[in-house]
Structures are given as structure tokens and as C-alpha cells.
Amino acid sequence: MDCFQTICCLKGSLGHQFLLFIVWLSSFQVAVALQTLLEPSHVSSTSELATPPNFGIFGPIEISPAILPRNPYPDESLAPMYPTFPTTYKPNLTGKCPVNFTALSNIIDKTASDCSQPLAALVGNVICCPQLGSLLHIFQGYYSVNSDKLVLQNAVADDCFSDIISILASRGANKTIPTLCSVKSLNLTGGLCPVKDVVNFEKIVNTSKLLEACSTVDPLKECCRPICQSAITEAALEMSRTQLTTNDNEELVTEHNRNDPLSDCKGVVYSYLSRKLSADAANAAFRTVSACKVNKVCPLNFTRPLEVIKACRNVAAPSPSCCSSLNTYMAGIQNQMLITNKQAIICATVLGSKLRQGGVMTNVYELCDIDLKDFSIQGCLLRSLPPDVILDNSTGFSFTCDLNDNIAAPWPSSSSISTLSLCAPEMSLPALPTSQIKNPGNRGGELELLVPIFSFFIFSALLY
């Protein structure tokens, strides 16, 4: 028995020494490897070593992004990936708009980038026009911040609107944005809205409710459960119901005979919000509200797909002629503009309904691998709340595409183009079940039993 204990002790001590030897050997190998890496394998002579140049031209060259080469062929169109930079100059102002535009420089720069010359037509519906509208609302509130008025008079509105467009163009914006976005100087006058001053506005409108609803707008909830939009509409309705004063609005009746006073009153509400909120807070709220409106409609122009209907009417399986015709039609659609992911869903539904009306009952989107991104330029889908266009000194203008929407286009269930809702139905979640000690449906006890058993097997394996 004593002999057996002695052998066990020797085996234990030998095992301990063997482990120490293994640890020492591994550390020795690491040390040798590090020493080998640090020691040069070849020591050059003095003549072989490079000496610092005596001339400054061999020093590090610092290239500012601002002096990157422009288009080397100005008479030809730019390459698709060639950086585009704005051409800036000093604007020629009317001198009749009594506003310090320097105070609005940040919001003006943002609008100029969003409506830049090469991109305005492509992002006009989703980025440029919403931002331009926000700028006009903020300017309207800033102009009247030191007075009781919420709108501009016609003559001043013409001059200020002209100056705004001139300043934007001088900073690289497209000169045609008034036509592109369907805005004019009358948008600053309040139109046919009967309430145009702060005193009457605050008498009629529940301003505390309005400011609470629009001070901070949640972009994830506003479009499906509108809070700020509802408050703006409610305030505009209350103002539009008041008596229209002839003296203030008689000159506008002929010019606004096709307009709705409710829309004009909404502009007055935006002006009031611009007076009370900071420029950044107001711009964020206005852009979110605009995005909710933009994402409800497909902005693409669909010509009648006669060739697609003819080639795909009786198709039940993948057909080269059908897919070729559909791809040709989609290529024309894709060249129109950049759209958001939510707009793409609506556009796919609209086109699918047109095809079903023509007799195409098979899901040709699935047969021909048509995705949502195929409805936007170069397959770039913008987010539902598109970020601003970014101007960088090295890359020029850029914007962010949503690469998470590479999903199949939805095929409509019927040929009727009904209102498509992208909001989930309201539902109440059931209460979480309360924990019970003796619950036959609770499988948590099995997991608690498996953990010690599994640990026991691991411990046993380590011992033996």
C-alpha cells in the first residue's frame, strides 16, 4: 500500500514537472521568434542605406481635398462616378428684403445641398422639395419674429422669394427649383387664410397643444399615428372657419381662386411654429411631416404597359419574352428618379394593378425577379425618412441608399388600385403570464435540471 502511494506521488510530481517544462518551452519559442523578427537579417553598408534627400520635393505631399481635379473635359458630360462640386458665386440680391440671411445660413446651405444642380431633379420629390418647403416656412417665421404678423405682404414676398432663390443658386442649387417644387412667392403671404397675425392666432388656436405636439416629432410613429400633423390640421381648420376679412384678402381672391384656404392656413401654422421653435427643431419636424405625406404616393409616371401585357398575359412559368418585355419597361421606370423604400412598395402595387387590369394574373415580379430596388435609379432606394444630401470636398455630392431593401416587389391581390396602408393595424398585446411554482406547462424546471447534469459530466471528464 505504501509502495502504491509512493508511485502515485512520483507520478504526480513527474506530471507537475512535465507541465512546467511544456510552459517553459512554449515561452522560449515565442522569445526566439520575437528576437528573430527584431534582428535584421542583413546589415547594409553605409553606402547602401538611403540618405534623406536634400530637396524639398521629396518631402510628404499634402493634397487638400478642395483642389482635387475638376472635370478634365468640360464640354462632355461627367462620368457617373466622377465627383461633382457646386459652382458658387456672390448672389445678386434685390436689396428690398429686410432680412439678415446670415442668421439662416445653416438651413440655406442644407437646402442648397439637397437641391444641388446635378441632383435636384432626381431627389426633388423626396429630399429637395421637402427641404425647400421647410426653408420657406422657417424664413416666414423668422421674417416676422419682431412683429405681430405671421405672413409677408405681396410686394415684400416677391423680393424675398427672389433673394432666397438667388442665394440658393449662388451656393450650387438648381435654379429651376421653384418650378420643380411648385412653389412661389404667394406661399409666404398666407393666401386666403383669414388669420395672419399672432394675436388672433393665439386667440383661436390652442397653442400649448400645438407646440407640445410638434416640438419633438417621432419619425417612427408620426406617419402611422400622427400627432403633429393632426395638431396642424386642427389649428388650420379652426382658423379657416373664421370670417374672411375683405380688406386683407380681396386682392388675393383672384390669384387664389383655385386654392383651398385650409392649405393657406396650414402655412400660417408653420410660420407660428417657426417663431417658437429653433431652426433645427422646426426643420426636423417639418421634414418628418413632409416624409409622411411623400411616402403615401408613388411619384413615378407609368405609361400604359401594353407590350408587357401582350407578352405576359397567358404566362404561367418563366418566359424569356415576358421577362424581356418587363425588364425593358422597368428600365424606363428606373431612370425617372430616386424614391424611398415605402414609395417603391406603393409603386410596385400600382404597376401590378395595371398589369392585372390588362389580364396578367400571374405574379410576373416573381417570375422575372423584380425587386423593390428596380423601381429606383441604379437600384438605390432611399430610406422612408431620407437623409440630407452631403457635400464633401473630396467626393462631391453624395446621399445614402438603403441597402436592406433587396426584397421582392409585392404583387397585388386584385386589379383595383385601392389605398395601400403601410401601417400595422392597432392591436393590444396580451398580458404576460404570471409565474407559478407548480405549472405543468412550465418547462423551465427541465432546463434547471439539465444544467447541473451537464456540469457533472464535464467535471467528471476533467478528472478522468
> Which residues on adjacent β-strands are paired with residue 396?
392
Give the Cα separation of 242 and 199 in Å (integer).
14
What local confidence, expressed as pLDDT, does residue 25 receive? 55
Beta carbons of 120 and 176 less than 8 angstroms apart: yes
DSSP assignment of 311-346: HHTT--S--HHHHHHHHHHHHHHHTS--EEHHHHHH
Give the Cα separation of 244 and 312 in Å (integer).
57
DSSP assignment of 189-252: TTTT-S--BHHHHHHHS-HHHHHHHHSS--TTTTTTS-SHHHHHHHHHHHHHTSPPPHHHHHHH
- What single DSSP character describes residue 95? S
What local confidence, expressed as pLDDT, does residue 458 receive? 36
Residues 6+ apart with CB under 8 A from 199: 148
| Residue labelled with grid coordinates 398666407 | 190
Secondary structure class of 398 (helix, strand, coil): strand
Q: Running along the chain, 464 residues long, what does each successive block of 10 average in pLDDT?
A: 47 56 53 44 41 41 38 46 68 93 94 91 93 97 91 95 97 94 95 95 97 94 95 96 56 49 95 96 96 94 95 87 96 93 94 94 94 92 86 72 78 74 61 46 39 37 41
Q: Which residues of 205-242 are buried (b: 16+ CB within 10 A; e: fewer)?
A: bebeebeebbeebebeebbeebebbebbebbbebbbee
Other C-beta atoms lying within 10 Å of the C-beta of residue 37: 8
What local confidence, expressed as pLDDT, does residue 103 receive? 93
**Residue 381 phi/psi, 5° resolution?**
-100, 130
Give the Cα separation of 288 and 187 in Å (integer).
20
Tell whether pTM > 0.75.
no
> Which residues on adjacent β-strands are paired with residue 382?
340
| Residue labelled with grid coordinates 424675398 | 160
Give the Cα separation of 408 and 242 in Å (integer).
50
Secondary structure class of 382 (helix, strand, coil): strand
Give the Cα separation of 464 and 462 in Å (integer).
6
Give the Cα separation of 32 and 35 in Å (integer).
5
Beta carbons of 237 and 193 less than 8 angstroms apart: no
Length of the chain: 464
Each residue's pLDDT tens digit, 335-387: 999 999 999 999 999 999 999 999 999 999 999 999 999 999 989 999 998 88
Taking each helix axis from N to C end, the angle separating 105-114 and 154-170, rounded to the nearest 10 degrees, works out to 70
